[in-house]
Amino acid sequence: MSARLQRNMQMLFGKSLLSQDAPPQPTVVLKIGGSVFRGLSAYPIAARYVRDRLMEESQIRWLIVVSAQHGQTDRLEQLARGLHGKPHPRVLDVLWSTGELRSVALLSLAMMELGLDVRALNIHQSGLLRSGSVSNTIDVDHRRLSRAWSGSRVAVVPGFFARNEIECVESLGRGGSDLTAVLLAIASKAVRCEFIKDVAGYHDRDPKRHADAKPLARLSYEEALRFADHGCRVLQREAILVAAGARLPMIVRSLEHTGTCTWIGDDTPEAQVASTTSACGIVDARVSRLPGTQPNKRGDIRQ
């Protein structure tokens, strides 16, 4: 708005109208797991997926959380142990972090090749802060994230890591990228958090071991936690707990099966269910409970 037009509008309508900012664009956090990145060729595939989602949901801002390429963290640890028998945890975290940062850079470059305007952020720019040697609290400085993300609809950030009170990077434990995505989604007031995995959502049995495994279109938080308690590693248990506390809707899907996924959350008003499940391809969004959510055996629900 030009200064002249702003003065004219102020004279006509007063300052109160002008002080009302345009409603912020809704945000979706999309986490892409390391099992998806099984080689350099996987990054352009993921970039095309993100581009298609940007086109499908043109009013959404996207925050993409990425893991290191499949196996990269283990390879980096082996490299460290080849130089030192007992590498210091803080030094090991620095080395591990290069895997996530590599994924941020490669995915961002692949997206730029498609003509997308993307912000490639580092661990410190993500705003995640781990504080307290006893409480081990993780906070999000959303202002820091917003500054780094400013001016673009999409940003790519590393998962699995936060900075600590003395600005060192720290890993968040196994499955920490899931927790990263949930924490950033809550801080960004995202409408949902999506997870791209190597399985198309939850199933009543392990689809890698049982060809007749049935996909589960919807789960409550309690049901998702029950899966985690029985050894299912589709989502980190702590990430589910934090999402449940914030009532954050989640979707689990894969790149290869874009029409099949699992929606995790409360029974919500129809409009919210429709907006969430439309991204999931669920035919009947009003199903309140699905058969087969109770696992039969401990070994049958690992995914």
pLDDT given at position 173: 83
pLDDT, greater one: 21 or 17 = 21
Task: Give yes or no: residues 185 and 208 share one domain.
Answer: no
The answer as to whether 213 is a domain residue is yes
Q: How far apart are CA 75 and CA 216, in angstroms?
A: 34
Task: Give yes or no: residues 183 and 127 share one domain.
Answer: yes
Residue 81 neighbours by CB under 8 Å, 6+ apart: 87
Q: How far apart are CA 303 and CA 234, in angstroms?
A: 6
Q: Which of 177, 18, 194 is nearest to 97 (CA)?
A: 177
The answer as to whether 301 is a domain residue is yes
Average pLDDT for 152-156 = 96
**CATH label of the domain that carries residue 155:** 3.40.1160.10
The answer as to whether 38 is a domain residue is yes
Residue 90 has pLDDT above 60, yes or no: yes
Task: Give yes or no: residues 169 and 207 share one domain.
Answer: no
Residue 170 has pLDDT above 80, yes or no: yes
Banded model confidence at residue 283, pLDDT cuts 50, 70, 90 = very low
Task: Give yes or no: residues 104 and 35 share one domain.
Answer: yes
Residue 153 neighbours by CB under 8 Å, 6+ apart: 25, 54, 60, 61, 62, 117
Task: Give yes or no: residues 182 and 239 share one domain.
Answer: no
Lookup: tokens for 72: 């990269």
Task: Give yes or no: residues 52 and 186 share one domain.
Answer: yes
pLDDT given at position 79: 95
Task: Give yes or no: residues 290 and 178 share one domain.
Answer: no
Q: How far apart are CA 258 and CA 213, in angstroms?
A: 18
pLDDT given at position 211: 84
Range of the domain at 206: 201-245+260-303
The answer as to whether 149 is a domain residue is yes
- What is the overall mean pLDDT for the chain? 81
The answer as to whether 15 is a domain residue is no
pLDDT, greater one: 17 or 188 = 188
Helices and strands (DSSP H and E) totals, the chain: 10, 12
Residue 194 neighbours by CB under 8 Å, 6+ apart: 28, 29, 30, 31, 250, 251, 252, 253, 279
Average pLDDT for 280-296 = 31
Residue 287 has pLDDT above 80, yes or no: no
Banded model confidence at residue 107, pLDDT cuts 50, 70, 90 = very high
What share of the chain in percent tops pLDDT 70? 78
Tokens 């506390």 belong to 245
Residue 89 neighbours by CB under 8 Å, 6+ apart: none
Q: How far apart are CA 240 and CA 248, in angstroms?
A: 9
Count of domains for the chain:
2
pLDDT in tens, 199-238: 889 998 888 888 888 899 999 999 999 999 998 889 999 9
The answer as to whether 61 is a domain residue is yes
Task: Give yes or no: residues 97 and 236 share one domain.
Answer: no
Task: Give yes or no: residues 164 and 74 share one domain.
Answer: yes
pLDDT given at position 301: 26
Query: Lowest-confidence range among 47-56, 71-80, 209-218?
Result: 209-218
The answer as to whether 53 is a domain residue is yes
Task: Give yes or no: residues 136 and 282 share one domain.
Answer: no
Task: Give yes or no: residues 120 and 176 share one domain.
Answer: yes
Task: Give yes or no: residues 163 and 208 share one domain.
Answer: no
The answer as to whether 85 is a domain residue is yes
